[in-house]
Structure 1
């Protein structure tokens, strides 16, 4: 039987090397009007390799490739040639099948890279068909994993999530089974077309194989996220990030942003230790991307300008994740401490303090069971940053203020990039979070006057923006701001009245207190009215049927306006009567709307019940006032 000589293999090796260089290096410089020029050239070389391999069918195969049982450094020549065992049972048939499968894989990736997905899918399918002749061994397990990864990506792109899941889970299974059965660094499929002197080192084989598996986990995390399996997705994402650090295969800013994004899953599930760890790691790793270029440097170089914008935006995104961390921690603490009238339950507060002592004792144990990012170069920096931020629920104003200040610091950082000029929506969302930080901090403040000042800060943050925004382009955002401002003024009004009532009853309030109370009351009503007016059609008509997204806010606004008019303090009987009639009109609207639209009742159960009660009581109060006015006349 004839043999394939070294020169023939050398020709294949040279073509493969050229194809890789065209794909990985030359393609980066392809012109915009011919973006795939180098990859098309690489494709032709791969086809030539495939034809050469097919022509060897039934021919005894000799090669300079090493035996899979040897390390790259161990070179043993026999008559000037190296024996190449089959990749499946050491048979020539298995060897040819694996090599042909590898070329099909590279052709598949090539077609996908050039946006020819059906052709890419066909080649990857051919690769899978050829691999069916083989069992996974150290010679081909890398190819098994790579092709399943590619098919997983392909089907995910087609939105065939279950198919993608199947291929990727098969790749994951290939990895675990191989590590259990063998565990030695497997041959990379690029080595099928590589001369002995160019074979990979032991360490490089390990790195490439582990990186392929890291990609499997990364793709699985995305597939699980798309399937709604969020907990599983978070676990795989965390493992991916950890492995990328360990293998030192990551882009610092991309890694940091992924870690910060993962933190949002943890904090929304009350896992603040993990969330803090992710954000601390994100902050530290983002620093490895280097300093932000100066504005002068950015003006001189397009590359520096792009780098400046990228670094500034992604660091601002990480800052926004820190804001959410602080805000969620405070809000969850409030939920734990709040009694049925919206104040701190002191008995429960003591219980939580005792529970915290036990939690602190378990913290170190808990940390050890957490997936930590323990890169040797960054671990100390991450741990140092974590120590500055608490992850246990704040239980009093001092602790809450420390969390608030951390959040407010990141508000300042985020606003430096997301400015009103160019990032309207982002800027306003940051302002809303800032307002929310003040609101939840006020819950922990016992001094009512200081609490009222915190709500005034919310007004100072939101009111200028609300009045500046164009309703035509930012209607939904303006509605949010109007409603929040109305509620904020309402809270300030309640606090001012509570302060005044500590010194005297309502009838004895001094004129300054009455004027302040009425001003806050009117300001709240004004913004509720503005919200309701925004619901009108272009013709100026109020909708007969409220859409779901505005149903509750609109009915609550009507209820609050009624309550506000009922509470206004006036020495003029005529003004009192006018306020009571307006209150009655709005209470009736809530009742009548819910009678006409029964499906709305569930959205405003409490408000509806009180509206019914007030709609029955106010006419009596109005008649008594009219009677007094008549007798006075």
Structure 2
């Protein structure tokens, strides 16, 4: 009799193993016109096992699949009567109840994976009822956590985020409670259906249990992000990544992209050491995905072509995250160091340098121990990469330049994949970041001529793109480039003006260069303003919020530039000042007619009002001179 029972149990176990193989392995080979074929076969096997365990309540196997799939009524009401009668490990009835709960869990997952969410939910809820009245034991804790993970995913997919949060936070609490009160490797779900003596090793049980909890943390990170609890989301994402490395439960490229994405959160919090660590780990782990196939290999094999494309793309995306790191580190340093007119405050610079000498090194060492990624295999590589770029604010040109050069090297990497041919928007965004790197570096440079040359580099990289781009298809990008070029020429004009003020007399070449900068800036400001016009060429009476400040600033800057043009010819001077006055009047009049706009351009409006009263006097003096000379 015992031998017969043992043979029957082995048959049940083999059926369960086959169901798992169909679901996890064979389903990946299913044809597109029947994508769930293997999942349905696995479901049939699970139902057969369930009925064989409930011989007294199920006399024959229900093979009416189509009816079940249409109705979604997959819950065996008889199962609920077993809930709470006995818990796994207490008795044969308890073990039978736990096994039924495992089957309900797998049936629930099966239905969810075949897009039958209501039926899937019913099976998972049935699983809950079978184990919820039991105390948490080694036999049921893993099932308890995984069932709630699946319910959390289910409700998150329905945009019921708070309901998903409830299931997942209970799963988290259960793990922590179990580890505090017991902590031994618990029984895995697969262990319920293996022949006697063939259950998993303690090490394998631990690995699977920790993997289930890692999934809990991962899903909670997504939930907190959706609830806009970004700090908690960041913490859970970081812990998830740590655990994936610790238990070797990761796909290299996927892990690398997640770590790089997390770095961008840390950047928003000005946690640059954490951001750098995430990026260094991301770059190192990405290399575990292997070498990038050559172009020749990609041409010969479709699989190699797809692999090459994926590796190039992901590594380029990581490079873009490095660019943002360098750019934001420089920008935040600039905010610390600039005075009220946007120039380098030398007193503030000295103060920050003294403060750094006193405590920065100790602070960095203390924080670093809390955020380590990597194993013994990767730790040295991560540390080595971190050492190539600072995580503290640069306080002078040399420190800023070191960060700039790292950012520029990643610009070159990102542009290799995100080329203009095929990736227009991405390519231009990378160029804009490169331009921004030069702009911030110029802030740290005290030599005005060298600063001007850095801005010239910005013009050289953006102007050809701006002139070639079709505004009909890329209007927003064209506006961004036009405004940035206008501002860049404007900054160069101000620098040349500052240089000119140191000279006793301006030569013809200097005047020509200065006027060229003024005219170029005005040209791009006017192109930006013209892009706002209607198809009939009419300028809007009321500006949209997204262009309100840029448009009024453009008008104000054109007014100033027009008045700065240098000419010895009185009629030309008169014309320039008259055009300047018209632009100043436009700003004043618009704000009078639209009082809500005053706040957007408070400083520019004040100066415009002043110039509207002063310029007529200057214009009249020139007119008087013209009369006198004639």
TM-score by length of 2: 0.93
**Match of residue 459 from structure 2:** 459
Match for residue 604 of structure 2 among 596, 603, 607: 607
**Match of residue 522 from structure 1:** 519
CA distance in 2, matches of 1:94, 1:196: 17
Render the CA deviation track for 1:293-349: whole Å, top value 9, x for unaligned.
Answer: 000000000000000000000000010011111111111111111112222211111
State the Cα distance separating 1:612 from its structure 2 match: 1.1
CA distance in 2, matches of 1:596, 1:324: 41
Query: What does 1:94-109 correspond to in 2, within 5 Å?
Result: 94-109=94-109
Render the CA deviation track for 1:471-495: whole Å, top value 9, x for unaligned.
Answer: 0110000000000000000000111
Render the CA deviation track for 1:215-240: whole Å, top value 9, x for unaligned.
Answer: 01111111111111111111111100
Query: What does 1:480-491 correspond to in 2, within 5 Å?
Result: 480-491=480-491
**Match of residue 273 from structure 2:** 273
- SS of 2:289's partner is coil
CA distance in 1, matches of 2:16, 2:443: 68
User: Which structure 2 segments of 5+ residues have no match?
Assistant: 59-84
Render the CA deviation track for 1:351-377: whole Å, top value 9, x for unaligned.
Answer: 111211211133222212x22114111
Render the CA deviation track for 1:456-506: whole Å, top value 9, x for unaligned.
Answer: 0000010011011100110000000000000000000111111121122xx
Match for residue 565 of structure 1 among 538, 562, 567: 562
**Match of residue 622 from structure 1:** 619
Render the CA deviation track for 1:365-407: whole Å, top value 9, x for unaligned.
Answer: 2212x22114111011111111111111111111111110000
**Match of residue 365 from structure 1:** 366
Match for residue 576 of structure 1 among 548, 573, 578: 573
State the Cα distance separating 1:615 from its structure 2 match: 1.3
**Match of residue 70 from structure 1:** none
Equivalenced residue count is 602
CA distance in 2, matches of 1:28, 1:572: 80
Is the CA contact (8 Å cut-off) linking 2:532 and 2:539 kept in structure 1? yes
**1:331 equivalenced with 2:331 (yes/no):** yes
Render the CA deviation track for 1:61-92: whole Å, top value 9, x for unaligned.
Answer: xxxxxxxxxxxxxxxxxxxxxxxx96446034
Q: 1:57 to 1:140 in 2, by over 3 A?
A: farther
CA distance in 2, matches of 1:94, 1:593: 80
State the Cα distance separating 1:526 from its structure 2 match: 0.2
**Match of residue 632 from structure 1:** 629
CA distance in 2, matches of 1:433, 1:486: 17
Is the CA contact (8 Å cut-off) linking 1:97 and 1:133 kept in structure 2? no
Q: What is the root-mean-square deviation in Å for CA atoms of aligned residues?
A: 1.7
State the Cα distance separating 1:4 from its structure 2 match: 9.5
TM-score by length of 1: 0.93
CA distance in 2, matches of 1:249, 1:89: 30
State the Cα distance separating 1:31 from its structure 2 match: 1.3
State the Cα distance separating 1:350 from its structure 2 match: 1.3
State the Cα distance separating 1:3 from its structure 2 match: 13
**Match of residue 219 from structure 2:** 219
Is the CA contact (8 Å cut-off) linking 1:88 and 1:135 kept in structure 2? no
CA distance in 1, matches of 2:19, 2:312: 38
> Which stretch shows the higher mean deviation, 518-527 or 268-277?
268-277
Is the CA contact (8 Å cut-off) linking 2:110 and 2:120 kept in structure 1? yes
**Match of residue 81 from structure 1:** none
Render the CA deviation track for 1:141-198: whole Å, top value 9, x for unaligned.
Answer: 0000101111111111111111111111111001001001110000011211111243
User: Which structure 1 segments of 5+ residues have no match?
Assistant: 59-84
- SS of 1:349's partner is helix
CA distance in 2, matches of 1:401, 1:300: 43
